[in-house]
């Protein structure tokens, strides 16, 4: 997000130069003409054309490439947007089947929010999932044991399962 400037004269010069044109070229930080000539001299070539003929195979240089005409950044973005709008949007099934549940506070505090389940470094997604899976399995196992101790014949941990 850009800061709001009251007067055009207070804009940073780099910002004015960058936004005053609609071309990729002015933002490219490449070698200057003098630097290019110096680099060509070091490798023993007179021009970029000489370098290209030395590096690129002849069968590629013979046939002209089919290049699209140059366009501004705004035109390129518009073209990409129009190409993207041709995509057929299908029904997304991502996230279907997840139903939010209420976890009792004592379980939330002692199992899910317990820092002993965390590692001392930033884990990868797979390690987070593994730790969460282990905590859920321990939770379900303990819930089933407690339910059986209270005299229930059948026990299921699915009421607390968040996976």
The residue from 43, 64, 85 where one domain ends is 64
Does a structural domain hold residue 14? yes
Residues 117 and 55 both lie in one domain: no
> CA-to-CA distance for 40 and 20, rounded, in angstroms?
33
> CA-to-CA distance for 117 and 130, rounded, in angstroms?
11
> CA-to-CA distance for 52 and 154, rounded, in angstroms?
78
Signed CA dihedral, 58, 60, 61, 64: sign only: positive
Report the number of distinct structural domains present in the chain. 2
pLDDT tens digits along 121-153: 555 666 666 667 777 777 666 766 776 666 666
Residues 98 and 161 both lie in one domain: yes
Signed CA dihedral, 69, 74, 76, 79: sign only: negative
**Which of 5-9, 44-48, 97-101 bottoms out in mean pLDDT, i.e. has the lowest?**
5-9
pLDDT tens digits along 66-122: 888 889 889 999 999 999 999 988 887 776 666 677 888 888 888 778 777 665 655
First to last CA, the chain: 38
Q: What is the pTM of this model?
A: 0.27
Range of the domain at 19: 1-64
Residues 117 and 53 both lie in one domain: no
Q: Which two tokens stand for residue 135?
A: 């905590």
């Amino acid at each position: 997000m850009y800061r709001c400037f009251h007067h055009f004269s207070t804009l940073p010069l780099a910002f004015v130069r960058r936004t005053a044109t609609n071309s990729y070229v002015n933002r490219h930080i490449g070698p200057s003409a003098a630097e290019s000539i110096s680099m060509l001299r070091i490798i023993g070539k007179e021009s970029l054309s000489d370098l290209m003929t030395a590096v690129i195979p002849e069968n590629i240089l013979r046939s002209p490439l089919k290049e699209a005409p140059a366009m501004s950044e705004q035109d390129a973005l518009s073209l990409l947007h129009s190409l993207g709008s041709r995509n057929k949007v299908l029904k997304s099934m991502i996230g279907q089947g997840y139903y939010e549940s209420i976890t009792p506070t004592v379980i939330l505090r002692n199992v899910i929010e317990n820092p002993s389940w965390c590692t001392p470094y930033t884990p990868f997604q797979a390690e987070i999932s593994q730790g969460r899976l282990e905590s859920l399995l321990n939770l379900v196992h303990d819930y089933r044991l407690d339910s059986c101790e209270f005299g229930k014949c059948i026990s299921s941990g699915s009421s607390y399962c968040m996976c």
